[in-house]
Amino acid sequence: MELNKYKDIHFEVSERKILLRIFDIVFVFISLYFVGITFQFDYFNISATNFYWTIVLGLYLQIIGSVFEMYNLQVASNQFQIIKSIILTSSTTVLFYLLTPLYTPVLPSNRLQILIFFFAIFLALFIWRMLYVRFFASNRFVKKVILICDRDQAEELINGLISVDPHYRVLGFVNSYSNSENNDNLKINSIPIDKLDKFVKQNSVSEIVVASQKTDGITVDLYNQLINLLESGYIIREYTQVYESITHRIPVQYVSRDFYRFFPFSRSNQNHLYLLVVRILEIVISLFGLSLGLFLLPFILLGNILGNRGKLFYTQKRVGKNGKVFKIVKFRTMIKNAEKNGAVFATTNDTRIKPFGKFLRKSRLDEFPQFINILKGDMAVIGPRPERPVFVKEIADVMPFYETRHVVKPGLTGWAQVNYSYGATIDDSLIKLQYDLYYIKHRSLFLDFNIIFKTLSTVLFYRGQ
């Protein structure tokens, strides 16, 4: 069998992130090596006797780079955004490295050494990331795809993919349902079935994605074309799998009543060791959070007196694990009697939110009292955000899968919170539900730490809602 020779090189999302992480470290170490042999720089030397210095520096780069979005592909592909991330990552990495001399070299007596150390790291990251933007993030390495779907769904399906991955390009679609109404305004190439094979080879297509929900739309002719392409080495994937891997969301609107067939729960939900480790970490984080909250309390109290002019704390009923209702504790951010006409979603630029309340929300300081809920066991540090009973009923009537979020404890922060803005409508709730279900399906310590890093980014960049 002769495999396909026409496909261009492309990188998957995970491959790009691995590439960025590896070469961040490689360029920094090469830069420090050449600085060491070129200048009188002896603060950081790479050798077998102090190998742990390089390990610690590599870990700092990876962790701090994650916090400052160095591995967000949208940021990494934007020349101006990535420069800001490089400056923040270089500065913070050098600061942490200098302040931990138990694991790093003793502080240099010559301050010039510190400047050389900083510029060696900064220039290494800057040169590598500019190469990435100019070369690897260019059109040379886009992933070219065609879609097999119903014509009336084509635009929605395609926009759902390309809006997340800047390197994902859908070249066209094959209409799998011939009775669909013709739409002359569709800005996507429609590929005739008999020209599918030729189109794929001429355009160096990397992957064919099947998204048709009507089995009778896959005709014998189309099926044979797909089999021939599969035998020629082309990748054929199902849309919901592609959507989930690219967007990190569960596409519940496409899997319909077969939802549970596509949604195996993460084994971590029944893993006692994982749950024990998570609970210990939750207690440690909560105690630290409450200590920090007590330190900030006088300033928050003063700001509340001047800006909010009302009670500092407020409680509200929320739905927890297994549908159990509990009372959440927060710093008050809204005016008195904010819901005298009934419960409504908070929105962006909500007039009920006081200026100081807006600051508390943006900085996430309003959430600090919830560490009490975590210690009590009503909440977790990470999980779907707890919603109010009235909204749960309203949303569940529209989305039958919504109650699935309650199989785990609600969290102080979650996958939906770090990936999507404040949910002010039912449509927003659907998108956040997709993220929540992804977390429940893929729950793990790796994903938990990823959420923590993204939460730190949200706080540092003042993006709270």
CATH of the domain at 171: 3.40.50.11060
Q: Does some domain include residue 76?
A: yes
Lowest mean pLDDT among 212-216, 232-236, 352-356, 361-365: 212-216
Do residues 113 and 154 both lie within one domain? no
d(C-alpha 51, C-alpha 357), whole Å? 48
Q: Does some domain include residue 64?
A: yes
pLDDT of residue 252: 75
Do residues 434 and 324 both lie within one domain? yes
Q: Of 366 and 381, which is predicted with more confidence?
A: 381
How crowded is residue 207: how many other Cβ atoms within 10 Å of its Cβ? Answer: 19
Q: How far is CA 421 from CA 248, 372, 426, 429, in A?
A: 15, 25, 13, 10
Do residues 452 and 342 both lie within one domain? yes
For residue 3, pLDDT beyond 60 = no
For residue 261, pLDDT beyond 60 = no
Lowest mean pLDDT among 134-143, 192-201, 372-381: 134-143
pLDDT-based confidence at 1, cuts 50/70/90? very low
pLDDT-based confidence at 2, cuts 50/70/90? very low
| Of the residues 81, 111, 136, the one at which a domain ends | 136
| Of the residues 136, 170, 187, the one at which a domain ends | 136
CB-CB contact of 118 with 89 (8 Å)? no
How many domains does the chain contain in total? 3
Do residues 337 and 421 both lie within one domain? yes
| Of the residues 106, 136, 166, the one at which a domain ends | 136
Do residues 204 and 309 both lie within one domain? no
Do residues 189 and 111 both lie within one domain? no
Q: Of 163 and 413, which is predicted with more confidence?
A: 413
For residue 38, pLDDT beyond 80 = yes
Do residues 173 and 126 both lie within one domain? no
Q: Does some domain include residue 159?
A: yes
Do residues 293 and 395 both lie within one domain? yes
Q: Which residues contact 372 (CB under 8 A, 6 or more apart)?
A: 286, 290, 329
For residue 230, pLDDT beyond 70 = yes
Specify which of 21-35, 129-143, 203-217, 231-245 reaches the highest per-range mean pLDDT: 21-35
Q: Of 6 and 12, which is predicted with more confidence?
A: 12
Q: Does some domain include residue 344?
A: yes
Q: Which residues contact 11 (CB under 8 A, 6 or more apart)?
A: 19, 136, 141, 143, 167
For residue 92, pLDDT beyond 90 = yes
d(C-alpha 357, C-alpha 180), whole Å? 51
Do residues 29 and 129 both lie within one domain? yes
Strands 235-238 and 380-382: unpaired
Q: Does some domain include residue 6?
A: no
Mean pLDDT to the nearest integer, 73-93? 90
Q: Which domain holds residue 212?
A: 142-247
Lowest mean pLDDT among 118-122, 156-160, 206-210, 369-373: 156-160
Q: Does some domain include residue 258?
A: no
Query: How large a percentage of the chain has pLDDT more than 70?
Result: 85
d(C-alpha 162, C-alpha 168), whole Å? 6
pLDDT of residue 286: 95
Count helices and strands in the chain by DSSP H and E runs = 18, 9
Lowest mean pLDDT among 53-62, 304-313, 324-333, 456-465: 456-465
Q: Does some domain include residue 255?
A: no
Do residues 432 and 309 both lie within one domain? yes
pLDDT of residue 214: 63
Average pLDDT, the chain: 83
Q: pLDDT tens digits for 124-177?
A: 999 999 999 888 876 667 788 888 888 777 777 877 777 777 678 888 888 876
Do residues 127 and 109 both lie within one domain? yes
Q: Does some domain include residue 103?
A: yes
pLDDT of residue 131: 93
Do residues 282 and 384 both lie within one domain? yes
d(C-alpha 53, C-alpha 101), whole Å? 10
